[in-house]
């Protein structure tokens, strides 16, 4: 009977964060005869995991910054779930599940569960600064000491937390990114392509994701490369305080907006270059890893997270933060040198195989659990 099995709980803002990156981990717990509970949004991605055998307890984590009422409700909901299931292992991903989930777990379960967190990036609040960033910092300071370990996806985030004394160094772990299934992204041979070049960007429609910078670069480059295609892929997020208007996006003549795609692999395989001008405080951007897996070079800003996904001059280029002139020059350079794009793309695929393989990332998490006497 399920009631007699040990319970593992995974919490995230939405089901996508669990199905796209942690599906393999969840499957390993199910295969080891654990009962797996998901605390996340009730969406198609969460239901995909339910079909594997996980159980869903819907939680509404407001992703739009500070929202006192919704944040308090999320904390109370997590407390209810912990009382109902009494998990012996819990892992929280994303800022609000990390803070609310860890505080709720320790209040309800005391020391009866092994609690882990993953900081998947710092996002809008830490770029803007101000009261929201300060409150998030206080939340981390109160919550993180109550977990066995907190995983960071890049060294900049880890170092910030240590400098700020939000947790002890002994509880900080570095695991680069969430990994990608490199076998799902076929390596593409782009040698000898003679069609009009395709430059792709993939990201939510937020200013800090670099949407305006992408549009500006496209507008400039069309003056000398009128046949170049600039394709933008990403979901709208109109409730977010940093949202870019979809009306504005559709009015831009220099780009083609394709909306949100269920599978980005085909568009990456069609592309000749990934332009990723995000300064959002990514953890380690998944799309750059996915692009690398297809043998696609990337140009982005030298900011936390992105700088650990691109090897400057080898797998792509890193440009000074928010320097659109530098972005333009690097894009022009690679448009004019297709052979260099191919060489960089091969180096990117090699990097993906060496450092971004999801099987390796999952094994690092399994090792972390076992260090804390979680039998998996």
Q: What is the pLDDT of residues 12-27, one digit of tens each?
A: 999 999 998 899 999 9
* Residue 139 domain flag: yes
Shared-domain flag, residues 257 and 268? yes
User: Sorting pLDDT into bands at 50, 70 and 90, what band is 1?
Assistant: low
For the chain, the straight-line distance linking the first and the last C-alpha, in angstroms and rounded, comes to 19
The DSSP 8-state label assigned to residue 355 in this structure reads I
At 237 the pLDDT is 87
Residue 60 tokens read as 């509404």
Would you say 87 and 9 are in contact if contact means Cβ atoms under 8 Å apart? Answer: yes
Shared-domain flag, residues 153 and 209? no
Gap between the Cα atoms of 249 and 140, Å rounded: 35
User: Average pLDDT of 329-357?
Assistant: 96
User: Sorting pLDDT into bands at 50, 70 and 90, what band is 354?
Assistant: very high
Q: Is the pLDDT of residue 313 over 90?
A: yes
Shared-domain flag, residues 101 and 213? no
User: Sorting pLDDT into bands at 50, 70 and 90, what band is 66?
Assistant: low
At 65 the pLDDT is 61
* Residue 13 domain flag: yes
Shared-domain flag, residues 25 and 113? yes
Shared-domain flag, residues 221 and 130? no
Q: How far is CA 86 from CA 108, 326, 371, in A?
A: 9, 53, 21
User: Average pLDDT of 155-164?
Assistant: 95
Shared-domain flag, residues 338 and 310? yes
User: Sorting pLDDT into bands at 50, 70 and 90, what band is 131?
Assistant: confident
Gap between the Cα atoms of 315 and 329, Å rounded: 17
Gap between the Cα atoms of 261 and 280, Å rounded: 21
Shared-domain flag, residues 300 and 169? no
Residue 24 tokens read as 């393999």
At 124 the pLDDT is 65
Shared-domain flag, residues 219 and 314? yes
* Residue 193 domain flag: no
Shared-domain flag, residues 25 and 122? yes
3-class DSSP assignment, residue 197:
coil
* Residue 159 domain flag: yes
User: Average pLDDT of 112-118?
Assistant: 95
* Residue 365 domain flag: yes
User: Sorting pLDDT into bands at 50, 70 and 90, what band is 223?
Assistant: very high
Shared-domain flag, residues 140 and 110? yes
**Neighbour count for residue 211 (Cβ, 10 Å):** 26
Q: Mean pLDDT of all residues in the chain? A: 93
Q: Is the pLDDT of residue 337 over 90?
A: yes
At 128 the pLDDT is 64
Q: Is the pLDDT of residue 152 over 70?
A: yes
Would you say 85 and 127 are in contact if contact means Cβ atoms under 8 Å apart? Answer: no
Q: How many helices (H) and strands (E) does the chain have?
A: 15, 13
State the total domains in the chain. Answer: 2
- Domain limits for position 86: 2-179+357-371
At 323 the pLDDT is 97
* Residue 185 domain flag: no
Whichever domain contains 208, its CATH number is 3.40.50.2000
What percent of the chain stands above pLDDT 90?
81
Gap between the Cα atoms of 288 and 324, Å rounded: 19
Q: Is the pLDDT of residue 256 over 70?
A: yes
The DSSP 8-state label assigned to residue 311 in this structure reads -
Gap between the Cα atoms of 27 and 29, Å rounded: 5
Q: Is the pLDDT of residue 110 over 90?
A: no
Is 177 or 36 the better-scoring residue by pLDDT? Answer: 36
Shared-domain flag, residues 172 and 206? no
Residues paired with 58 in a beta bridge? 40
Shared-domain flag, residues 26 and 46? yes
At 64 the pLDDT is 59
At 239 the pLDDT is 82
The DSSP 8-state label assigned to residue 244 in this structure reads P
Q: How far is CA 31 from CA 26, 27, 348, in A?
A: 9, 6, 33
* Residue 376 domain flag: no
Is 87 or 237 the better-scoring residue by pLDDT? Answer: 87
User: Sorting pLDDT into bands at 50, 70 and 90, what band is 262?
Assistant: confident
pLDDT, tens digit (0-9, with 9 covering 90-100), for 170-212 = 999 999 989 999 888 888 888 888 789 999 999 999 999 999 9
Q: Is the pLDDT of residue 233 over 90?
A: yes
* Residue 97 domain flag: yes
């Amino acid at each position: 009977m399920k009631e007699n099995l040990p319970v593992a709980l995974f919490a995230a803002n939405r089901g996508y964060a669990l199905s796209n990156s942690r599906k393999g981990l969840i499957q390993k717990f199910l295969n080891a005869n654990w009962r797996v509970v998901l605390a996340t949004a009730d969406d198609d991605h969460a239901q995909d995991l339910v079909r594997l055998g996980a159980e869903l307890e819907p939680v509404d984590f407001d992703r739009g910054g500070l929202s006192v009422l919704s944040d308090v409700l999320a904390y109370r909901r997590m407390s209810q779930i912990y009382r109902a299931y009494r998990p012996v292992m819990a892992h929280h991903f994303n800022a609000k599940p990390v803070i609310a989930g860890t505080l709720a777990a320790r209040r309800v379960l005391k020391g009866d569960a092994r609690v882990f967190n993953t900081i998947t990036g710092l996002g809008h609040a830490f770029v803007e600064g101000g009261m929201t960033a300060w409150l998030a910092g206080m939340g981390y300071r109160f919550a993180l000491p109550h977990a066995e370990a907190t995983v960071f996806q890049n060294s900049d985030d880890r170092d910030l937390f240590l400098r700020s004394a939000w947790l002890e160094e002994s509880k900080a772990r570095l695991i680069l990114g969430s990994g990608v299934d490199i076998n799902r992204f076929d390596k593409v041979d782009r040698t000898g392509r003679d069609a009009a070049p395709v430059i792709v960007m993939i990201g939510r429609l937020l200013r800090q994701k670099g949407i305006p910078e992408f549009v500006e670069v496209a507008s400039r480059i069309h003056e000398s490369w009128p046949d170049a295609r600039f394709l933008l892929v990403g979901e709208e997020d109109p409730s977010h305080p940093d949202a870019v208007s979809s009306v504005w996006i559709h009015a831009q003549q220099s780009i083609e907006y394709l909306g949100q795609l269920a599978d980005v692999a085909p568009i990456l395989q069609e592309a000749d270059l990934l332009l990723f001008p995000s300064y959002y405080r990514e953890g380690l951007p998944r799309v750059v890893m996915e692009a690398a897996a297809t043998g696609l070079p990337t140009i982005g800003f030298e900011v936390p997270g992105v700088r650990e996904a691109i090897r400057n001059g080898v797998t792509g280029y890193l440009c000074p933060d928010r320097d659109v002139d530098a972005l333009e020059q690097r894009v022009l350079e690679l448009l004019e040198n297709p052979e260099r794009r191919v060489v960089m793309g091969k180096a990117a695929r090699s990097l993906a195989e060496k450092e971004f393989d999801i099987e390796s990332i999952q094994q690092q998490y399994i090792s972390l659990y076992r260090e804390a006497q979680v039998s998996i």
